[in-house]
Amino acid sequence: MTAVDPRPSDTFRFSAGRGEVLVIACGALAREIVTLIELNHWTALDLRCLPAKWHNTPDKITPALRAAIREEKGKYRKILVAYGDCGTGGKLDTMLAEEGVERITGPHCYSFFSGTEAFAARLDDEATVFYLTDYLARHFDRLVWQGLGLDRHPELLPDYFGNYSRLVYLAQTKDDGLAQLAEAAAARLGLAYEYRFTGYGDLAGFMAEGSKD
């Protein structure tokens, strides 16, 4: 199994073999996508990831994805995008429609890891929940604590998280070490902690469909 854990600032590429379909994804999904490709022997799929840290500056996502799509068109018979809207305010979907490229359904990775329908059903009850995935648990310090400037200005913690009541860790893998990191993150934020195993959710089905001829 290929070891993958790009830092939030990294770009990343992976080729499974045949190079027929390209998945362009957020770097926060790199490990999960490579794992799915290798477990299922989806040799038609290649992966290109953009930096995960852009979730803190979502205005960068749409133009960077457009540039990547235009750079890769002609090299693959199909391009897929593994991003939610991710704070772009609909600009991402408008651009993808213009480029004729399909993305996974859902507003963000919390939704498609949970299963879009299941996540939507919980939405009213979880308006005050802050979510972590495996990647965010692993990189909480860089993406959340440092990314929001709380390492320099801890007095901002109530401004950012005062309206949250719980941290829910949506776990893609059963990893005690990551669960401990997620629980520690909840404590730092002053939030109640809940563990919820999701596996790969809708991401697996999206990629399975994309890998078909």
Given the structure tokens 């902690």, which residue do they identify?
193
3-state secondary structure of 157: helix
pLDDT of residue 176: 98
d(CA 48, CA 89): 23
- Sorted by sequence, the CB contacts under 8 Å of residue 197 that are 6+ apart come out as 171, 174
Of 168, 182, 53, residue with least CA distance to 110: 168
User: pTM of the full predicted structure?
Assistant: 0.93
pLDDT of residue 213: 64
Residue 23 · residue 47 · CB < 8 Å: yes
d(CA 126, CA 132): 13
Greatest C-alpha distance within the chain: 54
pLDDT of residue 1: 63
Residue 125 · residue 162 · CB < 8 Å: no
Buried b (16+ CB within 10 A) or exposed e, 87-126: bbeebbeebbeeeebebbebebbbbbbbbbeebeeeeeeb
Q: Within the chain, which residues score under 70 in pLDDT?
A: 1-3, 213
pLDDT of residue 2: 66
Residue 88 · residue 61 · CB < 8 Å: yes
